[in-house]
Amino acid sequence: MSTKRSKVYVAMSPKKSLRDSTGQAGGGEKLKAYVAMSGGVDSSVAAALLAKQGCDITGVFFKPWLSPDGRAFCNWQEDKRDAARVAAKLGIRFKVWDFSKEYGEKVTKYMVSSYRGGITPNPDVMCNKEIKFGLFLKKALAEGADYIATGHYVRLCHRDANLRMHANNANKKINKFATFAWNSQHSHRTYHLLQARDNNKDQSYFLWTLTQKQLKYCLFPIGDYAKPEVRKLAKKFGLANYAKKDSQGVCFVGQLDVKNFLKEYIKPKAGEIKLLETRKIIGRHDGVYYYTIGQRHGLDIKTGGGPYFVVSKDIKKNIIYVTSNEKNLATDFAEIKKINWVGRQPALPVKVGIKIRYRGESIPAEIGKGAKPGVLAVKFKKPARAVTSGQSAVFYRGQVVLGGGIII
């Protein structure tokens, strides 16, 4: 894999301007960054890159959310030790902050209430909005930080008042990342989120809720690196976790069996599974809330044929409808609510690419005003499969994240 860098766009804080690439602010004061450190390789390298650049770094580990009976869904004590070891290796301060109560209030309740209402939420999107770029950002700034940084695979750029895109050429030395300095006199700037250079790791889908006020304090140091390069950097910097496996669980929680988790909050309620085309009963389920549109596995269907996919749910009657014809999962229309535009809202209608799931393709579409205030209507240029209420629809123009919303 080539190590040639594309241009990296990392916007800096309005408080101070970088004098050079050593992390020095005007007047020689070091820039302060609080880095969210999970114990994984990505956030560790993010901290290392900033530290190598000369910034004043504080690593912060978040204590995870625990179930009401005190159970953890990940080995968080080990993750905390890994993060602490990296901080010690880099010679940076290290703190442990507990947002678990707030996570329960803002994310867990949202997740449970969404499922109870028959929709499928994305807790990682809400975690980023409320915890990482909400509470963490607020507390870090209150302690004097100039920025927060995370290990997200995403890039950031800005345009000035003359609509010129600003970025500097990437530094080929692996112990630095490109930054663009700005100061408080440049107040008319619009920040843009861009997809990561590594398409396989791009996490821009989860960050569509970010606002201009948040982005001006954010750094994403690894957005211009591919995952193998990040691991090489970790090894070069002497970080013990350079080969640690990536976490695959829910943000702030860990590995989670969603169905078993929901059963602790939503009592099972047996019901019928019917074939969409004939309305014939072909199986049973233990709770309509536990299933999502497009789901194939975990269906108790005794009849032959198939495979069968969940195509719709009747919450009031507690009925799940399935189909063996995947064409019944396709639609060329959707409605979106709770819209956030990362930058300026474009004039409607507007042609965009839309992702309706993290690993999904970007589908060409046109967005226009919906039938109700605060709702957008989406017309897909080709049928989209399993458009699911509660999931995020994220709008792209090329590599730029325009914004997003929640599918109705």
Tens digits of residue pLDDT in 22-41: 455 555 678 999 999 999 99
Give the pLDDT band (50/70/90) at residue 167.
very low
- Mean pLDDT score across all residues of the chain: 86
Q: Do 44 and 239 form a contact (C-beta atoms < 8 A)?
A: yes
Which carries the bigger pLDDT value, residue 72 or residue 300?
Answer: 300
Q: Which helix (H) or strand (E) holds 115?
A: helix 109-116
Q: What is the per-residue pLDDT for 305?
A: 86
Q: Which of 55, 74, 218, 251 is catalytic?
A: 251
Q: What average pLDDT does range 79-105 have in this prediction?
A: 96
Residue 257 has pLDDT above 90, yes or no: no
- Report whether the peptide linkage leading into residue 373 is cis, meaning its omega lies within 30 degrees of zero: no
Give the pLDDT band (50/70/90) at residue 184.
very low
**What is the Cα gyration radius of the chain?**
23
Instruction: Copy the structure tokens of residue 338.
Output: 């709770």
Q: Which of 59, 99, 101, 105 is nearest to 82 (CA)?
A: 59
Domains recognised in the chain with CATH numbers:
26-236 (3.40.50.620), 267-324 (2.30.30.280), 328-407 (2.40.30.10)
Can 251 be counted among the known catalytic residues?
A: yes
Whole-model pTM above 0.85? yes
Task: List, for residues 318-358, the tens digit of each pLDDT value.
Answer: 999 999 999 999 999 999 999 999 999 999 999 999 999 99
Give the pLDDT band (50/70/90) at residue 140.
very high
Q: What average pLDDT does range 214-241 have in this prediction?
A: 97
Q: Which of 55, 74, 127, 218 is catalytic?
A: 127
User: In a 10 Å sphere around its CB, with 0-12 CB exposed, 13-18 middle and 19+ buried, how is residue 398 labelled?
Assistant: exposed
Q: Which of 259, 318, 253 is nearest to 118 (CA)?
A: 318
Which strands sit side by side in the sheet containing 147-149, from one edge to the other? 93-98, 56-63, 32-36, 147-149, 218-219
Lowest mean pLDDT among 3-12, 133-142, 312-321, 339-348: 3-12
Q: What is the per-residue pLDDT for 170?
A: 30
Q: What is the per-residue pLDDT for 233?
A: 98
Q: What is the per-residue pLDDT for 260?
A: 87
Q: What average pLDDT does range 392-408 have in this prediction?
A: 98
Residue 401 has pLDDT above 50, yes or no: yes
